[in-house]
Amino acid sequence: MSTCPKVVLRRGKTDSVRRFHPWIFSGAIKRMDDGTGEGDLVEVFSEDGEYLALGHYAPGSIAVRIVGFERVSDVSTLWDARFRNAYTLRKTAGLAENAATNTYRLINAEGDGMPGLIVDWYNGTAVIQTHSEGMRREVQTFAEVLGAIYGGRLRAVYHKPHSSKESGKAGGYYPFGEKTGGVITENGHRFNVDWERGQKTGFFLDQRDNRALLSGYARERRVLNTFCYSGGFSVYASGAGASLVHSVDSSARAIEWTDENIALNEKFTSNKIGGCEHQSFAADVFDFLHDAADNYYDVIVLDPPAFAKNISARHQAVQAYRRLNLAALKKVAPGGIVFTFSCSQAVGPGAFTGAVTAAAIESGRNIRILHHLFQPADHPVSIFHPEGLYLKGLALTVR
């Protein structure tokens, strides 16, 4: 691609690229062509003139997000190959073309060689979320590639920008089709997904396997689902035969979505499914846990939003995880289970486990780890980009 601006790295700053890490930091750049702008595709070279990579340029700490380490003559062929490879992986994982689960993540940013891009499949609608100007420019091309892969199964493509600043608009738009409904099926459970107003692309697909795991512990137990959002864990627990499910979120809209999803599933009549009582609460989770009766809940789910958006907030986030887990460990009944998670990329598995361990020590209870929990196969992590492992969790048994 001879028309791409050139970026030259400083001597001694090429090692990470040679190890296939997809980020180039601004301090590694020695010079670049005049006029290089945000979102431009750039070719990266060593000082000796060796070709290293192709990526999107952006001002800031991460100056280049790499999309390929080999030269290509036409970037559209690269996008097509990336999407088709991603689809094949989801099919191999048993997600694509699965009647019981018609929703999954198709493109997981760096994990699929597409930094700055997320694409989630919702039963005929592909929701694109762009986190860079370079990927935003390619939305129409991505919609065309999706049409070529899915054919008549694709009813709509919705572009949901990461921020209004990125797109210059307050909201998203449909580069293909229009909204025709958002009911999806996950492991036989049904959910109504609002990708236009909801968080991220509308639903937390990354917790699918962990929701299924919870089902095995929920039967005939009292379950508390905190930070419930649209009630994913609540629906699974109720469907598994929990005796009672309480859903808590500070957002009134999230509680509305939870109640809608509870009602959507066929076994539910009013607020009961097969003897399971469900009740939702629009409340601060810390306050709710503080006021909850001791030893009342047999299973507690802690799935908070990211407490740390960046490295500078990591210490404060670790302390917040400690306080949250301590509150739950003090309340869960003897023999109970706590599912606890962190989606903060800046807080690694070791730091998160350390925060939970500190809470366990302070609680004075006998606590064992049953499961280490992570994101599922449709959220792959490049072995060259460990930062892509953002979701981590523990299932604990408490005496």
Pairing mode of beta strands 41-45, 62-68: unpaired
Query: Is residue 131 within 8 Å of residue 160, measured between CB atoms?
Result: no
- DSSP-derived letter for residue 265 is S
d(CA 277, CA 270) in angstroms, rounded, equals 9
Strand partners, 129: 118
* Residue entry with tokens 């970026």: 7
d(CA 211, CA 238) in angstroms, rounded, equals 11
Q: How would you write the pLDDT of the chain (399 residues) with one tens digit per residue?
A: 668 999 999 999 999 999 999 999 999 999 999 999 999 999 999 999 999 999 999 999 999 999 999 999 999 999 999 999 999 999 999 999 999 999 999 999 999 999 999 999 999 999 999 999 999 999 999 999 999 999 999 999 999 987 544 444 457 999 999 988 899 999 999 999 999 999 999 999 999 999 999 999 999 999 999 999 999 999 999 999 999 999 999 999 999 999 999 999 865 444 445 568 999 999 999 999 999 999 999 999 999 998 866 767 788 899 999 999 999 999 999 999 999 999 998 899 999 999 999 999 999 999 999 999 999 999 999 999 999 999 999 999 999
Length of the chain: 399
Query: What is the residue-wise DSSP string for 192-243?
Result: E--TTTSSTTSS-GGGHHHHHHHHHHHTTSEEEEES-TTTHHHHHHHHTT-S
d(CA 286, CA 148) in angstroms, rounded, equals 48
CATH number of 6-68: 2.30.130.10
**All structural domains of the chain with their residue ranges:** 6-68, 75-192, 205-398
Helix (H) or strand (E) holding 144: helix 139-150
Supply the pLDDT for residue 105: 98
Q: How big is the CA angle at 388 (ends 149 and 207), to the nearest 5 degrees? A: 75
Q: How big is the CA angle at 77 (ends 73 and 82), to the nearest 5 degrees? A: 125
Strand partners, 339: 301, 395
Beta-carbon neighbour count of residue 81 at 10 Å?
14
Q: Among 3.40.30.120, 3.40.50.150, 3.90.180.10, 3.30.70.1520, what is the CATH number of 205-398?
A: 3.40.50.150
d(CA 319, CA 119) in angstroms, rounded, equals 33
d(CA 162, CA 1) in angstroms, rounded, equals 28
Supply the pLDDT for residue 313: 79
Number of H helices, E strands in the chain: 11, 22
Biggest CA–CA distance in the chain, Å, is: 72
pTM of the model: 0.93
Supply the pLDDT for residue 1: 63
What architecture is domain 75-192? Answer: 2-Layer Sandwich (3.30)
